[in-house]
Amino acid sequence: MHGAGHAVCLGSDIDTDIIIAGRYLRTKNRSVWAEHIFEDLDPALAPRLAGAVILAGKNMGCGSSREQAVIALKEAGVAGIVAPSFARIFFRNAINVGLPVIEAEVPCREGASVRFDLDAGWVEVDGDRFPVRPLSPRMIEILRAGGLVDHWRSQR
Amino acid sequence: MSTLCEQILGAPAGEYVDRPVDLAFAHDGTGVLTRETLREMGVDTIPHPERVRLIFDHIVPANTSITADLQKELREYACSSGIALSDVGGGICHQVMSEGVVRPGQIVVGADSHTCTLGAFGAFATGVGATDMAAIWASGSTWFRVPETVRVTLAGRLDGAAEPKDVALAYVGKLGMDGASYRALEFLGDGAAGISMAGRLTLCNMAVETGAKTGMFYADDVTLQYLAGYGVAAERQEPEECCAAASVAIDLDAVAPLVAVPHRVDTVRPVAEVAGTPLDQVFVGTCTNGRFEDLQRFARIVRGRQVAVRTIVVPASRSVLRQAAATGVLADIVEAGCMIAAPGCGPCLGAHSGVLGEGEVCLSTANRNFKNRMGVGGEIYLSSVATAAASALTGTITEPEGA
Ligand code: SF4
């Protein structure tokens, strides 16, 4: 499980309300969520998310359990999220939709080149390598399948 | 010797376990995605529909034709798959589940982050996302990492001015928004016995605001007596000497009325410090403080007087509304000039019935004051019911009597 992208830096305690506001939840159309992602935080952020690895502060994804938050990030083209800690429902949701979440302490330089390899257990920012807190074998399996739905289908 | 989580999940902290789930519920918001995911998974029948509940509470009744269509589809799905549905007006999912449904020792999952509320019964109750919920409905079980436990020891008794909500704000302030990440909170100590079931639900409700997986009370006489009222028999649970990862002590006698100021739930201040802040709206309700006990406390303070600011009161469930109507509590609230909305989440999530305008300030008895949660540009202060009532009467943040 590996990936790469340009760094987009975010602060600590980013809540799921700020990722996708409650007023946009009532739809089945996934593109709506990517369209309005981070709208109340910084409307200039959305276009920079395609091909990005988000480097966030601690407690990433706290608050509401809305899975629309991780779907929006994935639909917006985010390749992975690195943070020193995640809120647990967000963490589980991300794995379930096949969005790599990486627990690691890394410095953030906007636009830096980020690479990660979850099997080998590292993340690199502009060539500097940092260790990653390992995922459980089941989480890796789900991520590798592309999410829980594909994992479920492959098991039947 | 084990923590309550370890007892229920049957494994030591840190281990990953697969466990059958006793109850699994979603609401009108997360239910839509759960249904969609089941479709994608190719799952047509739910093996244990009796363990599953759909509870309409987030936007009830529907506010637009889009919402109405989504609810219509979900309603039909519940009917065809044998899932019990609590339709509009029944109440907030966590409250409905607390009215004689959840029992001590059960494993309960809800597609809503505040499912931790139900740990008040000595159950392992936690929130999951919609995809996890779909897999749980399809298989009847799921995986958990057994959490480490933070023991919150309560001593003494609450006095007249402070309420369980103030205790909740106190521990969230102490621990911070990620102070118990991946962990479980256990409330115990001599002070626990003096806290009613309603108060326990309030205390456990805010566990997730510290990042915790759940908040729990051991089932005791208070629990058993409450459940007996619903005709449910249950057994006591005893705390064992052990192995908490961390502990926090709270002296209930020393807790004073508190508020969480915008936009973080862990920036907690004594009410006195922000007294006089002008308000545009007061909101009493939610899965934190919309129970009968809360409405009763509110009514006692506003009875015979008039609120000075628009005040919206939302009973947490039909049964709360019925009790409020039968006891005169509802009449007192209406006479005082408050608006009553249908049982449900009301304006808590900023989708309908009480959304804030740009720059408007709301004092709310809810659990979250994230930026823009109740409307773009709105500011949210969180408080107890007594503080909300005192503030509604003056139109500014005001200390409750006896503080
Ligand atoms: S009342 Fe508010 S916090 Fe509680 S379930 Fe409803 S939206 Fe969530």
Domain identity same for B262 and B386 = yes
Which residue's alpha carbon is nearest to atom 6 within ligand 1?
B345
Report ipTM (2 d.p.): 0.95
What is the structure's pLDDT at A29? 86
- Are A152 and B135 in contact (CB < 8 Å)? yes
What residue of B is the nearest CA neighbor of A30?
B33
Label residue B402 by pLDDT band (50, 70, 90): confident
How far off is chain B from A84, nearest CA to CA, in Å? 11
B309 within some domain: yes
Please indicate, yes or no, whether residues B262 and B349 belong to a single structural domain of this protein: yes
Q: What is the mean pLDDT of residues B110-129?
A: 98
Mean pLDDT value across residues B193-218: 98
Chain A stretch 73-102, residues whose beta carbon is closer than 8 A to a beta carbon of chain B: 85, 87-89, 92-93, 96-97
CATH code, domain carrying B226 = 3.40.1060.10
Nearest CB neighbour to B370, from listed A18, A67, A148: A18
Average pLDDT (B65-89) is 97
Ligand 1, CB cutoff 6 Å, lining residues: B 57-58, 92, 112, 114, 286-287, 345, 348-349, 366-367
pLDDT of residue A23: 86
- Compute the Cα dihedral for B368, B374, B379, B385 and give only its sign: negative
Please name the member of A59, A136, A148 whose beta carbon is closest to the beta carbon of B16. Answer: A136
pLDDT tens by residue, B319-351:
999 999 999 999 999 999 999 999 999 999 999
Whether residues B163 and B270 share a domain: the answer is no
The answer to whether B129 contacts A92, with C-beta atoms less than 8 Å apart, is yes
Percentage above 70 pLDDT, chain B:
100
Q: Do A40 and B371 touch (CB under 8 A)?
A: yes
Q: What average pLDDT does range B281-291 have in this prediction?
A: 98
Residue B403 maps to a domain: no
- What residue numbers bound the domain in which B336 lies? 258-394
B168 and B82 fall within a common domain: no
Of B197, B224, B254, the position where a domain reaches its end is: B254
B31 occurs within a structural domain? yes
Mean pLDDT, residues B46-71 taken together = 96
Between CA B354 and CA B403 the distance in angstroms is 29
Each residue's pLDDT tens digit, B158-202: 987 999 999 999 999 999 999 999 999 999 999 999 999 999 999
B400 located within any domain: no
Strands B268-270 and B281-284: unpaired
The correct answer on CATH 3.20.19.10 for the domain covering A2-155 is: yes
CB B108 within 8 A of CB B121: no
Of ligand 1's atoms, which has the minimum distance to the CA of residue B346? 1
> Which of B27, B60, B97, B114 has the most ligand 1 atoms within 8 A of CB, as the residue to mutate?
B114
Q: Are residues B262 and B197 in the same domain?
A: no
Domains in chain B: how many in total?
Answer: 3
Q: 3-state DSSP call for residue B204?
A: helix
The verdict on B291 and B390 lying in the same domain is yes
What pLDDT does B268 receive? 98
Contact A37, A76 (CB under 8 A): yes
Which of B254, B277, B293 is the C-terminal boundary of a domain?
B254
**Residue B186 CB partners (closer than 8 Å, separation 6+):** B3, B4, B5, B149, B150, B151, B152, B215, B216, B217, B218, B239, B244
Average pLDDT for residues B105-116, to the nearest whole number?
A: 98
B170 and B250, same domain (yes or no) = yes
- pTM, two decimal places: 0.96
Nearest-atom index, ligand 1, CA of B368: 3
Same domain, B325 and B298: yes
- Which of chain A's residues have a Cβ under 8 Å away from the Cβ of B183? none
Which one of B283, B345, B353 would you pick to mutate in the ligand 1 pocket, going by the greatest count of ligand atoms within 8 A of its CB?
B345
Residues B141, B152, single domain; the answer is no
| Chain B residues within 8 Å of chain A (Cβ atoms) | 16, 29-30, 32-33, 36-37, 40-42, 59, 64, 66-67, 70, 111-113, 127-132, 134-135, 138, 143, 145, 177-178, 181-182, 211, 213, 264, 349-351, 368, 370-373, 376
Q: What pLDDT is recorded for position B216?
A: 98
Report the percent of chain B where pLDDT is more than 90: 97
Residue B84 lies in a domain: yes
Tell which of B98, B121, B145 closes a domain: B145
Q: What is the mean pLDDT of each run of 10 residues along chain A (156 residues)?
A: 96 95 87 92 93 97 95 97 97 97 95 96 97 94 96 90
Q: Is residue B2 one of the residues assigned to a domain?
A: no
pLDDT in tens, B266-278: 999 999 999 999 9
Same domain, B344 and B372: yes
Q: Is residue B401 one of the residues assigned to a domain?
A: no
CB–CB of A27 and B132 under 8 A?
no
Torsion on CA atoms B277, B282, B284, B286, rounded to nearest 10 = -90
What local confidence, expressed as pLDDT, does residue B92 receive? Answer: 98
- Tell me what pLDDT residue B352 has: 93
Following DSSP, what letter does each residue of B102-147 receive, concatenated? --TT-EEEESSGGGGGGGGGT-EEEE--HHHHHHHHHHSEEEEEPP
B349 alpha carbon – ligand 1 mean position (Å): 7
To the nearest whole number, what is the mean pLDDT of chain B?
A: 97
How far away, in angstroms, is B217 Cα from ligand 1 center? 21
Q: What is the pLDDT of residue A102?
A: 97
Preceding omega of B61 cis (within 30 degrees of 0): yes
- Count chain A–chain B contacts defined by CB atoms under 8 A: 116
**Of the candidates A21, A25, A93, which has its C-beta nearest B29's C-beta?**
A25
Residue with tokens 């906007």: A110
Is the pLDDT at B243 greater than 90, yes or no? no
In this structure, the answer to whether residues B19 and B135 fall within a common structural domain is: yes
The domain spanning residue B384 has which CATH number?
Answer: 3.30.499.10
Looking at residue A156, its pLDDT comes to 81
Query: What element of type H or E holds B25?
Result: strand B23-27
End-to-end CA distance of chain A: 23
Q: What are the CB-based long-range contacts (under 8 Å, 24+) for A30-38?
A: A30/A71, A30/A72, A30/A75, A31/A75, A33/A68, A33/A69, A33/A71, A33/A72, A33/A75, A34/A72, A34/A75, A34/A76, A36/A72, A37/A72, A37/A73, A37/A76
- Domain locations along chain A: 2-155
Residue B237 falls inside a structural domain: yes
Is A103 within 8 Å of chain B by CB?
no
Given a cut of 80, whether residue B403 has pLDDT beyond it is no
Buried b (16+ CB within 10 A) or exposed e, B297-312: bbbebbeeeebbbbbb
